[in-house]
Each structure stands twice: as structure tokens, then as C-alpha cells.
Chain A
């Protein structure tokens, strides 16, 4: 028993050390976006407290524009800056972008049951399509693992749960770091939105039953 624990502690310490030695912050830091639905405010000692909400969360790597022309290519070159060599865009960096939901989501007429999914975007000029897939995500790049994806490499559409056209709009300012956000939220639903540079792309969803 003590030896087992000691071994675990060594592994934890080694992982911590490798992080400290690994050259500092990754170029595309990890991030998340979260929202809650279905909860209610109850009185608390320091004001109302929100309780009983169900989480909807996206986790993703957050690449930085760093002066590049992200979405400027035309024709077959469109999207090649952000997605040079995968079948679809991971819409993030490093690990596959993931959606975790504690409630069913109705997107483009289809229901996504509670669970963990991967998220991709098919990039065409003026025509972005959100893809929610049951492909699972690798937490570390392992080319030998064929049952889960790293980023969007080796993505196939056979595990798609839903595809939905995204509404594209343009911002007056340029956002430097890729940002997923939930926008225009109510308890009944909202929008899943990605913003990078001056481009905003969103898809509405409703909370299903």
C-alpha cells in the first residue's frame, strides 16, 4: 500500500516537473466557456444564490492571431492558415475542442443528448458549418490511438451527431485570441458562438427535454 501511494506521488511530481521545465506557457493556452440553464436564485446570506443549474461547457485551445491573415485566403486556399492539413477545422488549438452538456441540446432540428462531444467547423468562404461529433478526444497526441482524435486529424463524418450552418457576422474590432462564448442566453437556450479576429460565427440551440 505505501509503495503504491509513493509511486503515484512520484508520477505526480514528475508530471509537475515536466510542466515547469517545458518552456513556459504554450503558444495557445487552454480555455473554457461555460453557461448554466434550468437553475434558480434562492435567498442566501450575501444575496441570492443560483442553485440547481445544469452546465453546458466548451473546452478548447486558444490560438492567438499574432498578426496573421486568418481567414483571408480565397477559393481552395480559404481557411488554410488556420487549418492547413486536417479534413475540418478543430476550431481551437492542440487538443480537440469539446462540448460537455448536462442537458439535451436541440441544434438544427436534432437532439444532442447529455454527454461529451467533439466540435469541428467545416470552413468554406462565407459558409461555415458547425459539426458536433461523437468522436472522442485524445488528451495527449498519440498517433497509435485510432479510437480518439487529436485536433481534427483523421476526422471522419461517420460519427457526426449534427451539422448546422453558422451565421457569420463581422465585428468592428479584432479579437486576438480565439474565443468560444455562449451568447444571448435564456433558460430555454441561446447561441454557441466562436469569435476570432473580426469574424463571429454562431449557431442557435434550445434546451431539449
Chain B
């Protein structure tokens, strides 16, 4: 009983703190896709009306979880010697998000740029050079709250080192017809066993193709 009361107290304090601070400047978000599933008529129930009475079953999830910064009128990328400086804020590589490190969680092996990423959780970074972006998939663990004493996991991309890189892949850079206000990761051109991982912010889109491995 006492434990429960303490737990409620902690919950209440947490809720109060959130209410006081309001929405974080860069709200959290996710992008998710499923592969390898199939549409089947359920043996019981009516199935999903929007799927013609079928249901998508046994799909495997691929997900990116990240903080979503807003452009807020800024020149995000800069140019020349200042290119990328505003995004990096002193870090060796871009977290491609906000606050926590951007995380990739996959239930299937992914083949990217000729290398296989085994099912699991990874951190994503982008090496940003003008007209030359490189996606980095790393086994660096992520801190859930900033803790400068924790040297075994990263907050954002501060203290990133390349020794835990699983792979690096050049990104295809494209210009969008509109300016996206909030940084957005998305899965594009998906088939049941392949697709593209893309990041969009302002008018810049950068993407990398992947296939589901075996």
C-alpha cells in the first residue's frame, strides 16, 4: 500500500512538472512501416472495413523515433564554412532530430548500402557536408534523459565516436516544392520487402534505399 501511495505521488509530481513546462520546443515523433505481412480475411470478426474486410497480419515493424525540431523562420542549414553549424551545436555529427538520439528499431534485417543491419535498436546520425550527406547507423546506446556522467550511452550526438558504426551510406539529396516546418522522418516508396528511409526539413529531403534482408 505504501509503495502504491509513493508511486501515485511520483506520478502526480511528474504530471505537475509537465503541466508547468508545457509542450517541449521539439515534440517527439515516430515514423513506422511494416513489411512481410499479408492481407487475409479474418476467420472471425468482420476485418477492417478500410481494407476491404481483410486485415494486414504478421507484418514486421521498422520504426524511427526522434525529436521533431521546428524551423521557426531560421536558416537551418547555412552555407559555406557555416554549413551545418547551427544544427550541430558543437556535436561531431548531426543527431537528425532533437533532444534524445534518433533511434531506429527494426524487427527484420535491413540491407543498406551493401551491409546488413541485424534486427535490433540503433542510433541514427547524419554527417552533414554541403551537398554531401551520409547516414550513419550506429550501435551507440541512447540516454533517455541527459546524464553527463553516463559514458556508455549518448544524449543526442554529443560524444559520438565512429567505432560503433554498423554502416555509413551516402544519401540522395532532393529539393521539395514546399518548406516542411517540422523535421520529419518518413518511409517512402515502400514495397512488402523494400523501401526508402527519408528525412525532410525545410525544402531539403535526404534519403537512403533499403531492402529487407534474410
A: residues with CB less than 8 A from B are 2, 5-6, 8-10, 12, 25, 27, 29, 31-36, 39, 41, 46-47, 50, 53, 55, 57, 62-68, 81-85, 169, 173-177, 179, 181-187, 190-191, 193, 200, 202
A179 to B30, alpha carbons, bound, how many Å? Answer: 11
B181 touches A5 (CB 8 A): no
Return chain A residues, CB-CB under 8 Å to B4: 5-6, 9-10
Contacts of B49 in A (CB 8 A): 84-85
Task: Please pick, from B23, B184, B196, the residue contacting A181 in the complex, using a CB distance under 8 A.
Answer: B184
The residues in B between 154 and 198 inclusive whose CB is less than 8 angstroms from any CB of A are 177-182, 184, 186-192, 195-196, 198
Q: How far, in angstroms, from A181 to B32 measured CA to CA in the complex?
A: 16
Interface size class of B (residues with CB under 8 A): 35 or more
In the assembled complex, B31 has its CB within 8 A of some CB on chain A: yes
Asked whether, in the complex, the Cβ of A50 is within 8 Å of the Cβ of B25, the reply is: yes
B129 at the interface (CB under 8 A from A): no
Answer whether residue B19 sits at the interface, using C-beta atoms and an 8 A cutoff. no
Q: When A36-B72, A185-B181 are in contact, do A64 and B191 touch as well, CB less than 8 Å? A: no
Smallest CB-CB separation from A48: which chain B residue?
Answer: B74
Determine whether the beta carbon of B189 is less than 8 Å from that of A183: no
* Given A12-B11, A176-B188; A33-B50 close (CB under 8 Å): no
Central interface residue in B32, B59, B70, by most chain A CB within 10 Å: B32
Select from chain B the residue with minimum beta-carbon distance to A25: B61
**Alpha-carbon gap, A83 to B56, bound state (A):** 17
Q: Do residues A183 and B180 form an inter-chain contact, with CB atoms below 8 A?
A: yes
B33 within 8 A of A: yes
CA A55 – CA B181 in complex, angstroms? Answer: 13
The answer for the CA separation of A35 and B183 in the assembled complex, in Å, is: 11
A-B contact pairs, 21 of them (CB 8 A): A9-B7, A25-B63, A27-B48, A31-B29, A31-B30, A32-B27, A34-B23, A34-B68, A34-B70, A35-B182, A55-B23, A81-B50, A83-B50, A173-B189, A176-B188, A177-B186, A183-B180, A184-B178, A187-B73, A190-B181, A193-B178
